[in-house]
Amino acid sequence: MLNYLLRRVFYIVFVFFLISIIMFAIYKSVPSDPIFMYLEGRQAEMRPEAYEELVRATRIRLGLDQPLYIQYFKWMGNMLTGDFGRSSVYRMPVIEVIKAPMQNTLRLNAVELVIVFLITIPLGITTAVRKGSVYDSVTQVITILGYSLPTFIFAMAAIFLFAGTLGWLPISGTVTAGLELEASGFTLFIDRVKHMIMPIGVMVFTSLGGLTRYVRATMIDALRMDYIRTARAKGLKEKVVVYSHAFRNSMIPFVTSMIAWFIGLFSGQLMIESVFSWKGMGKLFYDSLMAMDYSVVLTLGMFYVLLGLVGNLLMDIAYTIVDPRVRLS
């Protein structure tokens, strides 16, 4: 086990640096000069000679006059020490730029994750146990509807009904404008919750379908196995057969989905964040890419790469926890 973990850590480090070289090369191959984006708006305020001198001095200060391999090692060295550079759009350190969107994304996705698993696991198990019943058929129709229609349709329908027609919930944003300066404590908490209800509701409804059907399928396969018939023949209670035997042995394929959802806690959902103007990681990544704010783009890209690599390692470890018969070697 220890040897396996050491090899995987070495693999993670190797792949991380390999992808960092590829991403840095792509960034440098883009036909744009970050200096002009960094100094955007200054040209109109200065004489041409002074502006050219400022461009030259800024290029030297940022190290962009050095060879590419030196720029790469400098960038990677700074990143490993926690210096992710400075945003050319927001005019502040990247770590400050991503702080609020990261909190918003974690807040939204963590609540959704808990609700989805609290619903889908029992729902998938009960539909598998009652396969072919009216309850199972109705659930299948609802879950098919949830993942068949595009997310933005449910989002726009929720806005029309709960914000436009009924007026119960705010249309968009993470908090009412100006409220953070005027209120605090419980009032601010309630306002944040109201802004989260519609995005979370849409995300939960569109996520129920695939995960519920996945749990149902793995449970149906497990309930067909010989050891389940043996357990029932021994006179064990049905709850013991279903939850202690069938569900436990169907967890291995389910762990894959759980780890993927864990990684998704940090990545954000561009469609939801765009429709509801939720300032999260997905929208930040897209906006930074469109604005060619490559310090932010590279930082987020490398963060997602590391998250995916660590997620795969956690998946392998989780396999051994769920099923002790699995051995990592």
Separation between Cα atoms, residue 112 and residue 132, nearest integer Å: 29
Domain membership of residue 172 (yes or no) is yes
% of the chain residues with pLDDT over 90: 6
Distance CA 124, CA 223 (A): 13
How far apart CA 329 and CA 322 sit, in angstroms, is 17
Give the count of alpha carbons within 13 A of 89, CB side only: 16
- Together in a domain, 175 and 43: no
Q: Is the pLDDT of residue 327 over 70?
A: no
What's the gap between Cα 56 and its chain centre?
A: 39
149, 175: one domain: yes
Examine residue 106 and state whether it is found in any structural domain, yes or no. Answer: yes
In a domain, 57, yes or no: yes
Whether residue 5 is contained in a domain is answered as no
Asked if 187 and 231 sit in the same domain, the reply is yes
Can you read off the two tokens belonging to residue 317? Answer: 């470890």
Same domain, 203 and 158: yes
Q: Are residues 107 and 59 part of one domain?
A: no
DSSP letter at 43 equals G
Q: Would you say residue 118 lies in a domain?
A: yes
- Can you tell me the distance from the alpha carbon of 129 to that of 241, in angstroms, rounded to the nearest whole number? 11
Query: Torsion over CA of 88, 93, 94 and 95, rounded to 10 degrees?
Result: -170
Residue 328 falls inside a structural domain: no
Q: What is the mean pLDDT of residues 241-246?
A: 81
Tokens of 276: 């509801």
Main-chain dihedrals φ then ψ at residue 262, nearest 5 degrees: -60, -45
- Higher local confidence (pLDDT), 326 or 187: 187
Does 64 share its domain with 169?
no
Residue 238 CB contacts under 8 Å (≥ 6 apart), including other chains? 129, 232
Lowest mean pLDDT among 102-106, 110-114, 192-196, 317-321: 317-321
Residue 11 lies in a domain: no
pLDDT band for position 21 (cuts 50, 70, 90): very high
Across 158-177, average pLDDT: 86
Query: What is the arithmetic mean of pLDDT over 216-227?
Result: 85
Residues of the domain holding 66: 32-83
The answer to whether residues 121 and 234 belong to one domain is yes
**The token pair that represents 6 in the structure block:** 């050491």
Question: In degrees rounded to 5, what are phi and psi of residue 137?
Answer: -65, -45
Are both 76 and 123 inside the same structural domain?
Answer: no
What whole-number distance in Å separates Cα of residue 307 and Cα of residue 111?
20
pLDDT at 322: 65
Number of domains into which the chain is organized: 2
38 and 158 fall within a common domain: no
Contact (Cβ atoms closer than 8 angstroms) between residue 223 and residue 128? yes
Q: Are residues 55 and 179 in the same domain?
A: no
192 domain-assigned? yes
Q: What residue type is assigned to position 150 of the chain?
A: P
Q: What is the CATH number of the domain that holds 259?
A: 1.10.3720.10
DSSP type of residue 196: H
Same domain membership, residue 124 and residue 59: no
The pLDDT tens digits of the residues spanning 6-18 come to 888 888 899 999 9
Which tokens go with 117? 């698993």
